[in-house]
Chains A and B, each alone.
Chain A
C-alpha cells in the first residue's frame, strides 16, 4: 500500500519521533509505514487521517488494481 505520510509529515516539519508521539506509536512504526514495509491497522489509519484532517483514501492508496465498487443499478 502506498501512502503520503512522509510528505504530510514534512509539510508540518515534524520528525518521525514527533509524529509517533502524536499518534501514540513508536518511531519504528512511523518509519515502517512511511517506507511501505508495514500497513497500519484500521484504527491507526483513522488516527493518521484525523491528525492530518484528510480522508483515509487521501493518504493511503492500494498497490494493486483497486476494488471496482458496487455495480450500477
Chain B
C-alpha cells in the first residue's frame, strides 16, 4: 500500500468519507493558511510580550499585518473550498458551521449572564475554543449521519 492510499484509507476510516481531488487540494490549501495564521499569531504575540517591538514601528506593523493577511487568506481559502466542494461535503460543513456559530453565540451570551448571576465568570476568549470544538463535533456528526 502506498503512502497516499494509506492516507486515504485512514481518512475514510476516521471520517467515513473520501474527498474528491479538488476538495482535497482546497482543504490542503486551507490547512496551510491555518497553520501560517497560527504561526504568525504566536510569533506576533511572543514578540509583543517580550516588549522588544516599539509601538507604531515598522516591526509592530509587520507583526500586525502578517497574522491579518494570513487570517484573510484562511477565510478566503475556506470560502473557496465551500464554493467548489462536492455538494454533500458543502452540506456537512454548513451544518457544522451553523452548530459552531450557534454554540459561540450561546457561549458569549451565557458568559455575561454567568458573571451577573454570581457564578464563575467565563472568559469570552474561550468562546473561540467552544466554537471550534462545536464545529469539529458538527463535522464528525454530519459525516457519520450521511455515511
Chain A residues in the interface with B (C-beta under 8 A): 25-29, 31-32, 37-38, 40-41, 44
Chain B residues in the interface with A (C-beta under 8 A): 16-20, 23, 86-89, 91, 145-147
A62–chain B nearest beta-carbon distance, Å: 20
What residues on B are CB-neighbors of A26 within 8 Å? 17-20, 23, 86, 88-89
In the complex, A44→B17 CA distance in Å? 19
The residue of chain A having its C-beta at the shortest distance from the C-beta of B87 within the complex is A41
In the complex, A27→B86 CA distance in Å? 10
In the complex, A55→B98 CA distance in Å? 35
What residues on A are CB-neighbors of B16 within 8 Å? 28
B129–chain A nearest beta-carbon distance, Å: 29
B87 near A25: Cβ-Cβ < 8 Å: yes
A50–chain B nearest beta-carbon distance, Å: 16
B10–chain A nearest beta-carbon distance, Å: 16
The residue of chain B having its C-beta at the shortest distance from the C-beta of A43 within the complex is B87
What residues on B are CB-neighbors of A44 within 8 Å? 87
B88 near A29: Cβ-Cβ < 8 Å: yes
The residue of chain A having its C-beta at the shortest distance from the C-beta of B147 within the complex is A28
